[in-house]
Amino acid sequence: MAESVDGPFISALRESAREAKLVMLAAIYETSPITHRVYDTAVWIDAAGNVVSVYRKLHLYDAFGFKESDKFHPGADIAPLVNVGDAHCGTMICYDLRFPELARLLNLDGANILFAPSGWVQGDLKVEHWQTMIKARALENGCFVIAPNQVGNIYTGHSMAVDPLGRTLFDLQENEGLAVIDIDLGMVKEVREKLPLLQNRRTDVYDKHRR
């Protein structure tokens, strides 16, 4: 069922975005150049219906008895930020949340919101892991994190949004639904001034131990 970014699913969303004048982020299984492997891809569409960013998941979920590398092909790089007014949006997917390096790189590029569409799989403590990772990525970077997650089947649900101090703005629990929130981007500047983690990094030391 995988298709290209210019396939029928994204084409239909582009038309909807154009009609509604809305920015959209959609996740698909995208065809890859490797036989029997697909990309796990997040596609940004602007309010004019243009594809403005394509992110292919970097970290494959070979953990807890799963082996995504049997069916997925990893992406090769982070995606450019998507700028919507004053919102500078960085993109991650699911298992990427467990890797703080990616979130930090996106924030160093200027992100003030991270988006992480996900299919977080059920298991012991997995809801706790999900909630902790989202809050950690927000706290350590002083940014908002928006993380929609699939429900039903093998997935945990708990679509969430978290502010730069790690406070939960909403949690849809195990329900499928729609949440609408107002985000004050001035809070990112305020938090980063009070808790200047990005400025207080010791890159002179880190660089000596790069692995």
- What does the pLDDT look like over 69-106, one tens digit per residue? 999 999 999 999 999 999 999 999 999 999 999 999 99
Residue 201 has pLDDT above 90, yes or no: yes
Q: Give the whole-angstrom CA distance, residue 109 versus residue 91.
A: 12
Q: Find the radius of gyration of the CA atoms of the chain.
A: 17
Cα-based distances in Å from 147 to 16, 40, 44, 162: 22, 16, 15, 9
Report the 10 Å Cβ neighbour count for 126: 15
Q: Give the whole-angstrom CA distance, residue 148 versus residue 176.
A: 10
Q: Tell me: the pLDDT tens digits for 16-68?
A: 999 999 999 999 999 999 999 999 999 999 999 999 999 999 999 999 999 99
Helix, strand and coil in the chain, % to nearest 5: 30, 25, 45
- pLDDT, residue 1, reads 86
Query: How would you list the strands of the sheet with 168-171, edge to edge?
Result: 82-84, 87-91, 113-115, 144-147, 160-162, 168-171
- pLDDT, residue 211, reads 86
Question: Could you give the domains of the chain?
Answer: 1-77 (no CATH), 79-203 (3.60.110.10)
Single pTM value for the model: 0.96
Strand 87-91 and strand 113-115: pairing?
Answer: parallel
